[in-house]
Chains A and B, each alone.
Chain A
Amino acid sequence: MSAPTQQSDNMPIVAVHKLGTRFGTNWVLRNLELEIERGELVALVGGSGSGKTTLLRQINGLLVPTEGEVRVFGEPLFGGGIHRERAIRRRFGVLFQQGALFSALNVFDNIAFPLRELHVLDEVTIHDLVMLKLSMVELLPRHATLMPAELSGGMVKRVALARALSLEPELLLLDEPTAGLDPDRSDSFVRLIRSLGEELGLTVVLVTHDLDTLAALSTKVAVLAEQHIVAYGSMQEIMNIDHPFIRNFFHSERGMRALGKTT
């Protein structure tokens, strides 16, 4: 179902321009600029309350910015009628922090949900596709009949990932993909995302504060502080920038240890 892209390849997948967000009288984000190229795995880092999740919710269209605009695949997220808005949302997948599986549906129906929404596939095709996604996230066919409440934390994330991937998205947005997982599960989930990303040619944007995840997964890092992106580039470039947040975050003992693993 991945729609062929008419745009040229050098067009940014996500373009955020002059974005500002205000909650009450408090500006969370101001004059924020960010362009994400096709194929990048971008980690969005920042302190607690720096607006990482707010920015992600604006990229996935859950929040309308107070000012400025967000373009995904070169198109604005809002306007142009329900059908256009829906078409653009079908080209990206979102993984929520707690999974956000539909608790009334079992694993199979959760993954099948976006496929059924298309109203074009027959049940046999849907069944095959769901089973394929299940195997992609390394779950067994017998897991398909379980309800979300019966799943462990790691399995919830895998099912949620399978659902996010069910419409063959070009862009994957992850909110704290490893939060709440033990280090072992967290590592294997990161490996899974990376291998799927390479295999499917995904562009990935993830919010994280876990340095291990960041080091293992991202090709670029965007640092959010003082209401805007203070640095955007590869890990090496970021490390050479002198900024209080970067110093604290990356140059701590813990940070050096995590980053040492990648070299």
Chain B
Amino acid sequence: MKTGRRFVRCAGLASTEQNGAVLATLTGSWTLAMVGHELDALRAELAALMQRSDVTWDCTAIEALDSAGAMLLWRAWGRSLPENLLIGPEHARIFERLAAADARPREPAAAALPFARIERLGVRALGLWRHALDVLELLGRILLNLLYLCRFPREMPARELGANIFKAGVKAMPVTALVGFLIGIVLSYLSALQLKQFGAEVFIINILGLGVIRELGPLLVAVLVAGRSGSAMTAQLGVMRVTDEIDALNVMGVQRSLRLVFPKVAALAVVMPLLVLWTIVAALIGGMISAEIQLDISYGFFIETLPKVVPVANLWIALVKGVVFGVTIALVACHFGLRVRPNTESLSINTTASVVTSITVVILLDAVFAIVTRSMGLP
């Protein structure tokens, strides 16, 4: 009986039967690179040979043996050397090392606690609570900074404030206007189709006015700013932590909350209501154009009717929402930015968490606003 194959470089296994005893001859390179090609075939052949009790293993013809090849044999042999083994000393050393590794005591796997899942839930809930406390602490610091600036107005971080207003506000104007305009058109178009059926075309002004000014404007801007500026703020603070720049500021006696967090929060508090106003105007223009085309409502009539059907209180609500959402986005962004550990994974996790959290919190706050202001501004 003759099985197996002989390649010059590959791992070779040949078995010959003489007088009832089997001689298995191993040849070629039993290395990671070579064994890998025919792993399953070799494993099957070795297993078949192990069925026989009287096999003599001749390993002297092996050209190269590394730990991957040795492990293949070792496992086929049932993690011990076979009785009849011919092997060179340099290869025997490899098997000695495998035996030594097996002899080392294993680390017992941590026993799963019966309430591990509940415990994890608790840990997460406490983590959420910790986040909330940290954001609250940051807010407190900002308020203290504000008091401090009232006493020492010269320490106002004017450059940082200006830069943030420009980056988060002025540069966001095109995109907020575009999005607002398009949403205005879409909303107006879809509403017009429905209103036509009831002959209630005039109410397009009420729907657009109330919907855009009170709800959609502030929310739209908040989502855009959270994605645009919130993520940028988190990433900026995160990188400053990674490069020790925040530590460098600290050792110079610069208060990091005053220099890094305050300008961002103040900038968004100033800029957000203005962006809300800007987006509302863009959305109403979009809606107005669509209404004129679809329902023949003239621009003059639209502009004239708007203040009559939408009380001005709605605008104030929108502006207050803008301030609150802006402060929230900046605080959440800075909170996650300051939590970044000096590695890239942490930076990406915290940037994602910053955007997701700020949008979620903004929508929650919007719901709170809806409840608190339910009796205001509705005709």
Residues of A within 8 A of B (CB): 60-62, 82, 85-90, 92, 94, 96-98, 100-103, 113-114, 117, 119
Contact = CB atoms under 8 A, between A and B. Distances in A.
B250 interface: yes
Contacts of B121: none
A82 B250 CA distance: 12
B250 A100 contact: no
B251 A103 contact: no
B245 A102 contact: yes
B105 interface: no
B243 A89 contact: no
Residue among B154, B243, B244, B248 facing the most chain A CB atoms (10 A cut-off): B248
A90 B247 CA distance: 14
Contact of B253 (A90, A101, A102): A90
Nearest to A119: B154
Interface residues of B, number: 16
B140 to A, nearest CB: 16
Contacts of A114: 252
B248 A94 contact: yes
Interface string B235-270: 000011001110110111111000000000000000
Contact of A103 (B155, B239, B247, B253): B239
Contacts of A102: 245, 248
Nearest to A82: B255
Given A103-B239, A103-B243, A119-B154, A96 B253 contact: no
Contacts of B251: 60-62, 89, 92, 94
B247 A100 contact: yes
A174 B214 CA distance: 56
Contacts of A98: 243-244
A90 B245 CA distance: 17
Contacts of B252: 89-90, 113-114, 117
B244 A100 contact: yes
Q: Which of B148, B247, B251, B255 has the most CB of A within 10 A?
A: B251
Nearest to B155: A119
13 contacts: A60-B251, A62-B247, A62-B250, A82-B148, A82-B255, A89-B251, A89-B252, A94-B248, A98-B243, A100-B245, A101-B243, A113-B252, A114-B252
Contacts of B254: 117
A100 B254 CA distance: 15
B253 A86 contact: yes
A23 to B, nearest CB: 14
Given A103-B239, A119-B154, A89 B247 contact: no
Contacts of A94: 248, 251
A180 to B, nearest CB: 14
A187 to B, nearest CB: 25
A94 to B, nearest CB: 4
B255 A96 contact: no
A101 B249 CA distance: 10
Nearest to A160: B248
Contact of B248 (A82, A90, A96): A96
A169 to B, nearest CB: 11
Contacts of B245: 100-103
Contacts of B148: 82
B56 to A, nearest CB: 50
A15 B252 CA distance: 20
Interface string B148-189: 100000110000000000000000000000000000000000
Contacts of B248: 94, 96, 100-102
Interface in B205-250: 239-240, 243-245, 247-248, 250
A96 B239 contact: no
B243 A100 contact: yes
A85 B250 CA distance: 11
B248 to A, nearest CB: 4
Contacts of A87: 253
Contacts of A100: 243-245, 247-248
A88 B250 CA distance: 12
Nearest to A87: B253
Interface in B6-24: none
B253 A89 contact: yes
Contacts of A85: 253
Nearest to A105: B245
A91 B248 CA distance: 14
Nearest to A173: B251
Contacts of B239: 103
Nearest to B259: A117
A107 to B, nearest CB: 15
A71 to B, nearest CB: 17
A239 to B, nearest CB: 33
Closest A-B pairs by Cβ, 9 of them: A86-B253, A100-B244, A89-B253, A100-B248, A94-B251, A96-B244, A60-B251, A114-B252, A100-B245
